[in-house]
């Protein structure tokens, strides 16, 4: 599997679609627009943070299961970055440290013990692609896609949340060691709006895919 990672508004969904089409593989997406918990979380984070995290965990395990069969299938968010998000919510008192510990134990147990079939299940990606964007770009993308519950105008406290999230993603990617990884500069390469930038990004990924022998 090829798995994407990055902050809100980094362009994960767009690049997932482009990359799957480019590689002739299947794409698997995070549940957002049909997620019944997400709007509730933005309205009352303390009440719904733990429930939301477990909802995502369940959906990500489904994606991992469904993506089996090809090293080139693309998932638009990594299961490994969810603990980063939940830890931030706890640090901002939107969840408790006890809930973080329970969630982390549950995640580790599921990744180590759950089998979906008699065959070996690949639970870590063959390649993780991190899309890094600046804080300003992140805010502009969030505003442009227009989900009311994500807007700072709707909730001014989201400004600090988004800023800290962006900073923590940088440290998270630097420490990520579960698989080969590749960083894409989302400010330098606006692959969503610039066809030439999209070609360059796909070329960079092709080079990494070939280096890892994922087409074999």
Q: What are phi and psi of 161, to 5 degrees?
A: -60, -50
Q: How far apart, in whole angstroms, are the C-alpha atoms of residue 88 and residue 165?
A: 7
Binding site, annotated residues: 6-14, 30, 42, 53, 77, 82, 141-145, 150
Domain that holds residue 175: 2-212
Known binding positions for substrate:
30, 42, 53, 77, 82, 150
Residue 125 in tokens:
């990606």
For 144-186, the three-class secondary structure string (H helix, E strand, C coil) is HHCCHHHCCCCCCCHHHHHHHHHHHHHHHHHHCCCCCEEEEEC
Cα separation, 79 vs 127, in Å, equals 13
Helix axis angle for 135-145 and 158-175, nearest 10°, is 120
Domain CATH number, residue 128: 3.40.50.300
How many Cα neighbours within 13 Å face the side chain of 32? 13
Per-residue confidence (pLDDT) for residue 120, from 0 to 100? 52
Q: How many domains does the chain have?
A: 1
C-alpha span between 126 and 131 (Å, rounded):
17
Q: Which residues are catalytic?
A: 76
Per-residue pLDDT of the chain in tens (216 residues, 90 and over written 9)? 899 999 988 999 999 999 999 999 999 998 777 889 988 988 898 999 999 999 999 888 889 888 988 889 999 999 989 899 899 989 989 899 999 999 999 998 887 765 555 455 667 899 999 999 999 999 998 888 777 778 888 788 888 889 999 999 999 999 999 899 999 999 999 999 999 999 999 999 999 999 999 987
Query: For helices 45-66 and 97-113, what crossing angle results, to 10°?
Result: 10
The whole-angstrom separation of Cα 31 and Cα 75 is 11
Cα separation of 74 and 26, whole Å?
Answer: 6
CB atoms under 10 Å from CB of 23, counted, come to 21
Structure confidence at residue 121 (pLDDT)? 61
Sequence-distant (6+) residues with CB within 8 A of 131 are 4, 5, 6, 10, 11, 12, 15, 184, 186
The position carrying tokens 């600090």 is 160
What is residue 113's predicted lDDT score, i.e. its pLDDT? Answer: 60
pLDDT for position 211 = 95
Whose tokens are 């549940």? That residue is: 31
């Amino acid at each position: 599997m090829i798995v994407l990672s990055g902050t809100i508004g980094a362009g994960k969904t767009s690049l997932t679609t482009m990359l799957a089409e480019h590689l002739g593989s299947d794409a698997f997406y995070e549940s957002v627009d049909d997620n019944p918990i997400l709007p509730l979380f933005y309205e009352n984070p303390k009440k719904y943070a733990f429930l939301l995290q477990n909802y995502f965990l369940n959906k990500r395990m489904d994606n991992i299961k469904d993506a089996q069969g090809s090293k080139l299938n693309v998932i638009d968010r990594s299961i490994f970055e969810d603990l980063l998000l939940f830890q931030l919510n706890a640090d901002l008192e939107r969840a408790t440290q006890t809930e973080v510990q329970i969630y982390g134990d549950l995640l580790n147990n599921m990744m180590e013990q759950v089998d979906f079939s008699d065959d070996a299940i690949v639970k870590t990606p063959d390649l993780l692609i991190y899309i890094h964007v600046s804080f300003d770009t992140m805010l502009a993308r969030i505003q442009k896609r227009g989900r009311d519950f994500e807007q700072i105008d709707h909730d001014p406290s989201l400004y600090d949340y988004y800023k800290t999230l962006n900073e923590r993603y940088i440290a998270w990617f630097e420490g990520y060691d579960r698989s080969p990884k590749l960083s894409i500069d989302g400010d330098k390469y606006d692959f969503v709006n610039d066809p030439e930038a999209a070609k360059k990004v796909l070329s960079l990924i092709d080079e990494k895919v070939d280096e890892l022998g994922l087409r074999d």
